[in-house]
């Protein structure tokens, strides 16, 4: 039988401000379900991304590779 392993769910929101959740102190945000997930799980309050553009940033997060190692170019064609 396989050993017990933790269940891991990674939620990545696109175009989502850091103060968009009630658990971060925004009284106008009504986010009960997200707040419950965070309360029972983990929330990273100081997270950084490799690239300001969404898709390359997610690719770096999921692969562990820096964008320049797989040839990511910015909107002007320069390698990051």
Percentage of the chain lying above the pLDDT 90 cut? 0
Q: pLDDT at residue 25 above 70?
A: yes
Q: How many residues in the chain?
A: 80
* Structure-model confidence comparison of residues 26 and 75, the more confident one: 26
Higher-confidence residue of 27 and 49: namely: 27
Provide the 10 A C-beta neighbour count for residue 31.
15
Is there a single domain that holds both residue 60 and residue 29? no
Looking at the structure, do residues 70 and 39 belong to the same domain, yes or no? no
pTM: 0.60
Domain that holds residue 19: 1-47
Q: What are phi and psi of 79, to 5 degrees?
A: -75, 130
| Residue 73 β-bridge partners | 79
**Who wins on pLDDT, 74 or 61?**
61
Domain count, the chain: 2
Band (pLDDT 50/70/90 cuts) for residue 47 is confident
Q: Are residues 55 and 41 in the same domain?
A: no
- Do 6 and 18 lie in a common domain? yes
Same domain (yes/no): 38, 75 = no
Same domain, 42 and 58: no
* CA 79/CA 28 separation, integer angstroms: 40
> Is the pLDDT score of 21 beyond 80?
yes
* 57 and 70 belong to one structural domain: yes
């Amino acid at each position: 039988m396989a050993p017990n392993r933790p269940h891991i769910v990674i939620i990545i929101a696109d175009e989502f401000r850091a103060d968009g959740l009630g658990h971060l102190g925004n009284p106008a945000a009504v986010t009960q379900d997200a707040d419950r997930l965070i309360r029972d799980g983990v929330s990273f309050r100081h997270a950084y991304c490799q690239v300001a553009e969404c898709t390359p940033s997610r690719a770096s997060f999921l692969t562990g590779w820096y964008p320049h190692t797989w040839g990511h170019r910015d909107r002007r064609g320069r390698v990051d």
